[in-house]
Each structure stands twice: as C-alpha cells, then as structure tokens.
Amino acid sequence: MTSKTSLDKSKIKFLLLEGIHPSALQLLHNAGYTNVESVTGALPPEELERKIADVHFVGIRSRTQLTEAVFQAAQKLVAVGCFCIGTNQVDLDAARQRGVVVFNAPYSNTRSVAELVLGEAILLLRGVPAKSAAAHRGGWLKTADNSYEIRGKTLGIVGYGSIGTQLSVLAEALGMQVVFHDVITKLPLGNARQAASLQELLAVSDIVTLHVPELPSTQWMLGAAEIAAMKPGAILINASRGTVVEIDALAAALQSGHLHGAAVDVFPVEPRTNKDEFLSPLRGLDNVILTPHIGGSTMEAQANIGLEVAEKMVKYSDNGTTTSAVNFPEVALPAHPGQKRILHVHHNVPGVLSAVNQVFAQHGINIAGQYLRTDEKLGYVVMDIAADTANVPMAQLTAIPGTIRCRVLF
Ligand SMILES: NC(=O)C1=CN([C@@H]2O[C@H](COP(=O)(O)OP(=O)(O)OC[C@H]3O[C@@H](n4cnc5c(N)ncnc54)[C@H](O)[C@@H]3O)[C@@H](O)[C@H]2O)C=CC1
Ligand SMILES: O=C(O)CCC(=O)C(=O)O
C-alpha cells in the first residue's frame, strides 16, 4: 500500500526510451512537464532497473521489456506509455497489481503496416529482392520467369483486426481476392470472406500475412506443419510478432524452394539498439525482405503516436483520466474547479467504496464528485472534495483493506 501527495509538475519525472518522436516531448513541455529524459535505444535490464527507480512516467516502444523485476524497481512509477500498438512487452498484471496504468496507441500506425505489407507483396511476386541483390553483386536477372502481377492473387490475412481489415480494403482495390482467418467471427469488408480454419486459408492463399497479437495462443502458430500446408510457391509475410513464426522452419521452406519468398519485420530475438548485430537464419537468403521492425515506423505514424500517448499520460497526470488504458478500469471525471481530487486504486473486493465513504463521513467531508469503475480484479475511484478540507485523512484511506494506492492529485 502506498500513498503520496501530488508533486509540482517540474518534479514529475518522465523517461522516454527507444527514440520516441519529438512530438511527445513537445506536448509534455506544452502541458508543463519539463522534467523529461529522452534516450535513443532500449536499455539493458540492469540499467533500466536503476534508471526507472525515480521515474513517475515511462514511455517505451516494442524493445523495452517491463518485467516484474522492473516494476519492483520502479517504486515511484504511476503510468507506462507504450508508443506503439503491442503491449506484450509489458507485464500488465505486474503493473496492475501496483496500480500502474498502461496506455498505448491502438490505431496510429495501422496504415503504415498495411502499406508496407502490400508493397512487399508486390516486390516479392516480381522477385525484386533477389533481382536487386544480384544486381548489387553485378548480376543481371532479366526474366519474366516466376514474376507475377498482384491482380487476381489470393491474400490470406491471419488476424482480421485493425491492420488486417485495413490491408483487406487496400488489397481489394488492387484486384486481389481476400480470405481471412480470425478466432472471432468478423464482418468481412468488401468481397473478403472468412475462412473456416487456418488450414483452409493456408491451402488457398498465394500470399499469407500475419496480423495477430503476441499471445500464448499465437506463439509459433506458423510452424513446419503449417508452412508445409501453404501452396507451393506461396509467399509469407510476418509483421506481427517474432514469436508467431518458427523461423528455422521458414528458413528451411525458403531454402528448399517450397516458398517463393518472404518478408519478415519481427524476429524472436531483436537487437536492442541499432548498434547491436542482427542475427537470423534468414540472413543471406536473397528471396527474403528483412526489415528491422519498422512496420509502424513512418514519420506520420510516429508523430501521431507521440501526440496520442503523451496526451494520455498528461491527462492521467493532470486529472486521473484512464480512458483507453489497457490494464485499468476507465475513468474520466470532469474537472470540478477549485476542489481537491483524490485517486484510490484497490483490489476489487466488496466494501472498499463504502469504507472510503465512511472515512470521509467520519471527518464531515462532503464528496462533490465521485466516479468508480471496476474490472474483474481492480477498482479505481476518483473523488473530488472541498478545496478547504484542511486535512485529507490519507492514513485512514490508505489503511482500508484492499487498497493498492491512494494519492491526492491536487
Ligand atoms: N511490425 C510492426 O511495426 C507492428 C506490429 N504490430 C503487431 O500487429 C498486431 C496486430 O495489430 P492490430 O491489427 O492493431 O491488432 P488488433 O487487436 O486490432 O487485431 C488482432 C486480430 O487478431 C485476432 N486474433 C487473435 N488471436 C488470434 C489467433 N490465434 N488466430 C487468428 N486471429 C487471432 C484478433 O481476434 C483480432 O481480430 C499487434 O498486436 C502487434 O503485435 C502492430 C503495429 C506495428
Ligand atoms: O514502432 C515500434 O517500436 C513498435 C511497433 C509495433 O510493433 C507495435 O506498434 O506494436
């Protein structure tokens, strides 16, 4: 159980890792948060644990692993901003157990990923990666053999969410037939159709592209058997997560000629910084486009993500708003000017709200506004009380059984 009173804005420390776009820094500064440290790459675990000890807000992308040990070291942390879609790099339960809110940007780089995948599909169907590699070595592979238009080909999309559906629309505009597989029954856009199973999708697709999150159920979902079930001469694209495809099985299928080509943006192990060496069994295969996890790395996407996630962190810091948090009940209590605001985070067990209200009643403190939201594990209540309340009974509020964190915001 922890309790603290809000700090002056200049004392609230932000740590932004992995080269987050300057739009985030600008937004934080404009909102009065000037104590911001920006770091280009991801930090090694020990350095991260040391650095995060006095940080209130941390911003990361996909390479920083926020583990139980990191949260243990981050005693002052109140929120995490994932400047990306995926949140698999964060131990969301460890964060929630400590009352740490996690935000992300669920849509800002969707279009960038969809465009890259489509571009790669066209290049691979024409054998461009291999022809380009040969030309760099002085070769000249002028031939139409094994070169195809994208028009009329079948695109198999695994994971028909934000990226999958965006890609579906773009692919149909180019004359492709779209078939998708999802664990949920989804409304097909345009002329797309939902396959009865992953096996059916693999059997009919000329290009298979993966857009599922990293989950226990998606781990290694494309292994040797699934790759063998793809059409001979098909193409595989993975811009989801590196744990979705068995990379050795993919390398073998490319070497044997079963697959015509592949584009891979995400890997089971990725270098932490741009100075670290990239190691992969796919290196040296000319029919493979290898990219350094840049599916969402466009100036447009990064600038928008910077604004979106920084704004979410500012709103949480300024007034306790958790709208669109990924691990927390969503609360947005309108400001009641001139009043004190208290945040109380607790385990979702019976009686906590009633105990909180009893504490205020005992002290004759009237509650001007109160908003409680719960999920299956957590309760989060934001309360406004009269500004002239001389002493907020923090010790009593914090002592209520089930309390995780209680603080006076302003
Ligand atoms: N390469 C890159 O730079 C980027 C990679 N990504 C990755 O792409 C993933 C997908 O992003 P969004 O489309 O925004 O996510 P989303 O959550 O909108 O869609 C994911 C879809 O996958 C489905 N799904 C989940 N488990 C499945 C399974 N076992 N089989 C079939 N379908 C399953 C879900 O029902 C959902 O429809 C992200 O979770 C992230 O890991 C996202 C952005 C950039
Ligand atoms: O841009 C990044 O660092 C990560 C992009 C990504 O994989 C995501 O948004 O989930």
- Give the DSSP letter of residue 222: B
Q: What is the per-residue burial (b if ≥16 Cβ within 10 Å, else e) of 22-35?
A: ebbbebbeebebeb
**Hey, which residues are catalytic here?**
241, 270, 293
Residue 134's contacts (CB-CB under 8 Å, 6 or more residues apart) are: 140, 141, 286
Whole-angstrom distance, CA of residue 12 vs CA of residue 28: 11
Residue nearest atom 22 in ligand 1 by C-alpha distance: 159
CA distance 396 to 83: 37
Which residues face 234 on adjacent strands? 259
Separation between Cα atoms, residue 228 and residue 253, nearest integer Å: 8
Identify the DSSP state of 352: H
Which ligand is located closest to the Cα atom of residue 309?
Answer: 2
Q: What is the H or E stretch that residue 123 is in?
A: helix 110-125
pTM listed for this prediction: 0.95
pLDDT of residue 361: 95
Distance of CA 84 from the midpoint of ligand 1 (Å): 12
Residue 215 CA to ligand 1 centre (angstroms): 10
Please name the residue that has the structure tokens 């209200």. Answer: 357
Q: Are 305 and 83 in contact (CB under 8 A)?
A: yes
Under a CB-based contact definition with an 8 Å cutoff, are residues 289 and 264 in contact?
yes
List the residue whose alpha carbon is closest to atom 17 of ligand 1.
161
Residue segments in the chain with a per-residue pLDDT below the cut of 70 = 1-7
Contact of 59 with 23, CB cutoff 8 Å: no
Number of Cβ within 10 Å of residue 351's Cβ equals: 11
d(CA 240, CA 295): 9
Alpha carbon nearest to ligand 2 atom 6, residue: 84
pLDDT of 6: 57
Give the integer Cα–Cα distance in Å for 374 and 367: 19
Judge if the beta carbon of residue 41 lies within 6 A of ligand 2. no
C-beta 159 within 6 A of ligand 1: yes
Report the C-alpha gap between 372 and 329 in whole angstroms: 9
Cβ–Cβ < 8 Å for 87, 64: no
Residue 59's nearest CA partner among 258, 307, 329 is 307
Tokens of 357: 């209200």
CA 57 to chain centroid, in Å, comes to 16
Ligand 2 centroid, distance to 166 Cα (angstroms)? 17
Please give the ipTM for the structure prediction.
Answer: 0.99
Instruction: Name which residue sits closest to atom 28 of ligand 1, judged by CA.
Output: 183
Residue 35 is predicted with a pLDDT of 97
Q: Of the residues 184, 212, 217, which should be mutated to test ligand 1's pocket, given the most ligand atoms within 8 Å of the CB?
A: 212
